[in-house]
Structure 1
Amino acid sequence: MLKKISAAALAAAAIAMTFTGAAHAETNPSCSSGVTQMGATKYIKSGSTTIASVKQFKGCGKNWGYIYVWDAWRASHRTYSIFAGVQVRGAEFPSGYNRAENKQELWSYGTDTLTKCTKGYGSIQAASYGGGVETEERC
């Protein structure tokens, strides 16, 4: 009986750590001291299929937008463009806007907007799809 309780306790602890642990920040090539995710991850979808994850980070005195294209979608799309940026409240276009072709992930350029209300922005354009999302606003 003790072994069953111990195994159940270990399983419960592992599950709790999975859902309550700190989010793992992706490696930002322009901010060697590290970045921290701001707010929740948003997802670009086509119907019920998830295409990409979009996040906003802060670090090195800047805000950063980030997009990560999911493997399954990437495997069936050879040619596409991805975009990442930081949307500042009241601005018409994202700041730090960056673009890449056929890459799996992309960071925006860092923006000096930590004192402003911002959202991470990401989008994908392909022959068969075009769309994007913004994360929740963080002030």
Structure 2
Amino acid sequence: MRRSLSTVAAALALAAGTVIGTSSEASAATAPGCSDAHQIGNTAYITTSSGETAASVKQYYGCNKNFGYVYVWQSFRDTHSSWRIFTWINTTPGTYLGLMSTTGIEVWSNGTATAQMCTRAGGLIEFGSYSFQAYTDTRC
């Protein structure tokens, strides 16, 4: 399933941005095209099998849409030379709405018209032959 996610995402346009780097998580910039988006629910953390925190996953709501957001931590970037991150909105297991990916340090999903549904944001990081993911809590 993770490979199919990579294949789907590779066909999408890449989204990248910049965030001031720190050794912990950073505050997200603004959702593309929606300056009033605000975080809903808890932040999730993508951790590797060694327990290292690689990235944060957040869900945002604004402009009557939900957005997923992933930010790669500076401490991970300091010890890894390349990765690919993905984010999406999930309404049921196996759905990847608004899926976007990048090799940058942050990525926003496309906004999804899911305001009247229960949703969670998903995030995945791939590096080398490894991939790890996390989900925010579900918000209704």
Q: Say if 2:56 is the partner of 1:53.
A: yes
Q: Say if 2:60 is the partner of 1:68.
A: no
| Contact 2:31–2:67 (8 Å) recurs in 1 | no
Instruction: Give the structure 1 partner of residue 80 of structure 2.
Output: 77
Report how far residue 77 of structure 1 moved: 1.4
Alignment of 1:1-139 (within 5 A): 26-46=28-48, 47-89=50-92, 92-101=94-103, 103-139=104-140
Q: Which has the higher strand share?
A: 1
Q: What amino acid is the match of 1:30?
A: P
Report how far residue 29 of structure 1 moved: 4.7
| Alignment CA distance shift 1:25-1:74 (3 Å) | closer
Give the gaps of 5 or more residues in structure 2.
1-25
Report how far residue 32 of structure 1 moved: 4.1
Q: Percent identity?
A: 36
Larger Cα-atom Rg: 1
Q: How many residues align?
A: 114
TM-score normalised per structure 1: 0.76
Flag the structure with more relative contact order, 1 or 2, with Cα contacts below 8 A and sequence separation at least 6: 2
Report how far residue 113 of structure 1 moved: 0.3
TM-score normalised per structure 2: 0.75
Q: What amino acid is the match of 1:99?
A: S
Moved beyond 3 Å, runs of 4+: none
Q: Which has the higher helix share?
A: 1
For the aligned residue pairs, the C-alpha RMSD in angstroms reads 1.7
Give the gaps of 5 or more residues in structure 1.
1-23
